[in-house]
Amino acid sequence: MIKQLLREKVLAFLAKHRNEGFKSRQLRRRMSVKTDEEFQILRDVLHTMLDEGELGWTKKRGYHLLSKKQEMHGILTLYKTHGMVELIDSKEQIYIDKKYYGTALNGDTVDVGIFAVKKKRNDSSEVKEGEVLHVVHRAQTEFIGTLERSKNFYFVLPDDPTMPRDIYVSPDSLNGTRPGEKVLVELTEWKNEHVNPEGKIIQSLGKAGDPFVELASVIHAYKLPTKFPREVEAEAVRLSPNISDKEIARRLDLRGLDIVTIDPVDAKDFDDALSLELREDGSYRLGVHIADVSAYVLEGTVLDEEAYNRGTSVYLANQVIPMLPEKLSNNICSLMPNVDRLAYSCIMNVTKKGMVQSYEFRRSVINSHRRFTYEEVEEILEKKKGEYSELLLNLWSLAKILRQKRMKLGSIDFDSPETKFHYDAQGKPDEILLKKRLQSHQLVEECMLLANQTAAKHISTIKTGKEEPPFLYRVHDIPDAVKLKDLAQFVKKFGFSLNISNAASSKELQRLLEQVRGTKEENVINEVALRSMAKAVYSEKNIGHYGLAFEYYAHFTSPIRRYPDLLVHRLLDEYAAGMPPQRMNAWRKNLPVMAKWCSLRERVATEAERESVKVMQVEYMLQHIGGEFEGIISGVMQFGLFIELNGIHVEGLLHVRDLNDDYYSYDDKRYSLVGERRGKVFRLGDAITVQVHSVNPERRQIDFRYVESDIKEPTKKKKSKSKRK
């Protein structure tokens, strides 16, 4: 054991001094080896490491690391407690402790040295530990933060939580900005991890804390493009909304069919429409008609390049950053009512049991007869009367069949509540509302899921020799077994069960969600269950979709706002025309890169959207400092309790130092804080009443104070007065 510890200590020390060598006595002194006995063990360890090729030795230099063997190249990802370097060649991951980051930042390409291999706590697999030796390439040199001033110097407090240091700014690099402003700062130098990095101010975004400035900082931080290049706008302007007779002749003409759109009340880009016909045998002929963006955004054009670079539309709390210029997204491509529009139609014959008997994908021309909002359709479904009521009621009947079939297969339905904001005349939030999930939402959802599934299934019928036909799938991997085990232990604390004997069964997760539905722990358990699952991504390899319990799945239904759907349309079109081998090889080569990029852009959009919601939540809570709210304990940490407020889903922190009625200790096994004198317990999922104490818009933080709780203190057993006989 002593030898192993000394070996790891030697590797860690030499990794810190990569370009140096040391004699054994120098190592003894520098590593604080005290006794002669320990020094002899150290010498034995050094000789063994030399014999096994872990170290090099020369008379002049002494012991040193063999750089070619130890150094590896990878990309660093920083988390709250540690970092991971994914090696570029092998995709192997190296664990990096915080103290070994050096001057590396999140996303940087780095050289890493490995100095230990340890067993994982939960299984028998190994994890390699190492440290960053030096930064090869910075992923990011510009940061958003707040400019502050101390007595003698200026510095920027970065918004990015992974940025470990404030950035020092000299007075001649302020660029006219003042303390208290939200700024864009460029990192100019950081060579020594023991001193702060240096930077210069590029521009001021405005006064820190102002909600519109904070939203601008989110846009800058995620590098979201708010304007289209002139050449892209010019290309969009040249496109005509008129459809020629020649183009109509090439397409399936569905303008005489009863087709409707169902969208949010404030939607402007209508990219899907529905039709339904009842057949004589009681089956359904369902039409899912999608805006034919590929007819206007041609491969290789500047419009196409810009759409690919953006990857997706980004829906921030108070604005949309579209993937396509407004002329396309809100006009030419949008399936507006009572105008002819080009569409890509998936027409499916569906049995009374929800099975797709036959289908066809056709380029079409449609004319939507009615633009419905979800609320309008909901009223018709409830009252069973209204405009196009027969069509909508039949669509709802089919949707219920499809949903029942999907649930039977084990599809997981995370009914996570979403919030939306109502804004005052100044554009600031004055109300937070929960988006209610209506029957009309489920109606549209089931139809879209079926079309997406059918598109992916269709590819499996195409014969291209030994290799699978190239295609872009939407995939969702099975959860990690260790994470599932942790989830099972977590829910057991609340009296719920998760059978993990069959680790890949989504039906068991579905049963768990049914158990917790309507309970006070529902939101907490849903959130923890979501975290235990893999993220859905785009891939050229079909591994199925675990969450939906689909063997085949793709994104086909939203090409106005998602680039992958546009790619799927092009692929379907090329297969229909007979894709030549050369073109097929080109797709095979390009799709892996495109899939990875589209997944990345989706992740960026999701994170930016989440941050923008936080900005507005914090702005809303600024108006309620001192107010009392009912909430639920959504997280328990050693330093305090995270509280999610009921009805508005705003989360803030109740610090343990503000629980001043007792001394509280953290019980990680029961996810709780326990009072040592009075025995009061604050447990994950418990109801609690809090007061809004302070709000920090720049840090997007909300602090609570404890008012009173519905948590009952444990009753003490009365001592029996009877004496033992």
DSSP class of 561: T
Rounded to an integer, what distance in angstroms lies between the CA atom of residue 201 and that of residue 142? 9
The DSSP H or E segment spanning 641 is strand 640-645
For residue 645, give the CATH number of its domain.
Answer: 2.40.50.140
Same domain, 308 and 387: yes
DSSP class of 293: G
Rounded to an integer, what distance in angstroms lies between the CA atom of residue 579 and that of residue 545? 27
Sign of CA dihedral 213, 215, 218, 223: negative
Percentages helix, strand, coil for the chain (3-state, rounded to 5) are 35, 30, 35
Sign of CA dihedral 506, 510, 515, 520: positive
Same domain, 76 and 146: no
Over residues 71-116, the pLDDT tens digits come to 678 999 998 788 999 888 777 889 998 888 999 999 999 988 877 6
pLDDT for position 130: 85
Our count of domains for the chain comes to: 6
Q: How many helices and strands, by DSSP H and E, does the chain display?
A: 17, 33
Both tokens of 204, joined, read 């001021």
**Per residue, what are the HEC states of 170-214?**
CHHHCCCCCCCEEEEEEEEECCCCCCCCEEEEEEEEEECCCHHHH
Residue 19 belongs to a domain: yes
For residue 45, give the CATH number of its domain.
Answer: 1.10.10
Q: Which long-range contacts (CB under 8 A, 24 or more apart) does 61-65 make?
A: 61/21, 62/21, 62/22, 62/23, 62/24, 62/26, 63/10, 63/14, 63/21, 63/22, 63/23, 63/24, 63/27, 64/14, 64/20, 64/21, 64/22, 65/11, 65/14, 65/15, 65/18, 65/113
Sign of CA dihedral 448, 504, 540, 464: negative
CA-nearest of 390, 370, 349, 357 to 273 is 370
Range of the domain at 498: 465-605
pLDDT for position 715: 40
Same domain, 12 and 112: no
Rounded to an integer, what distance in angstroms lies between the CA atom of residue 509 and that of residue 490? 13
609 touches 618 (CB < 8 A): no
The DSSP H or E segment spanning 67 is helix 67-70
Rounded to an integer, what distance in angstroms lies between the CA atom of residue 367 and that of residue 243? 12
CA-nearest of 314, 331, 330 to 322 is 314
> Which residues in the chain show pLDDT less than 70?
1, 53, 66-71, 116, 118-125, 415, 502-504, 708-725
The residue among 65, 87, 119 that closes a domain is 65
Rounded to an integer, what distance in angstroms lies between the CA atom of residue 378 and that of residue 367? 23
Same domain, 424 and 471: no
412 touches 513 (CB < 8 A): yes
153 touches 166 (CB < 8 A): no
612 touches 626 (CB < 8 A): no
The residue among 576, 605, 634 that closes a domain is 605
pLDDT for position 681: 92
Residue 445 belongs to a domain: no
Same domain, 326 and 398: yes
Same domain, 314 and 412: yes
What type of residue is 533? M
Residue 153's contacts (CB-CB under 8 Å, 6 or more residues apart) are 168, 169, 170
Cα R_g (the chain), whole angstroms: 30
Both tokens of 601, joined, read 């852009």
Residue 222's contacts (CB-CB under 8 Å, 6 or more residues apart) are 604, 607, 608, 611
Alpha helices in 73-208 (DSSP H): none
Same domain, 56 and 155: no
Residue 611 belongs to a domain: no
Both tokens of 557, joined, read 């239904």
Same domain, 418 and 542: no
For residue 73, give the CATH number of its domain.
Answer: 2.40.50.700
Same domain, 29 and 120: no
The residue among 407, 440, 473 that closes a domain is 440
Same domain, 593 and 694: no
Distances (CA, A) of 476 to 132, 270, 539, 707: 32, 27, 10, 43
675 touches 639 (CB < 8 A): no
Both tokens of 429, joined, read 């939030």
Residue 563 belongs to a domain: yes
Residue 108 belongs to a domain: yes
Residue 717 belongs to a domain: no
pLDDT for position 503: 62
Residue 629 belongs to a domain: yes
Residue 448 belongs to a domain: no
Could you count the other beta carbons within 10 Å of the beta carbon of residue 412? 21
| 275 SS3 class | strand
Distances (CA, A) of 337 to 266, 277, 322, 373: 15, 20, 21, 12
Rounded to an integer, what distance in angstroms lies between the CA atom of residue 600 and that of residue 594? 10
Same domain, 56 and 73: no
Same domain, 264 and 400: yes
Both tokens of 299, joined, read 């491969």
Both tokens of 552, joined, read 């085949």
Both tokens of 698, joined, read 């720049």
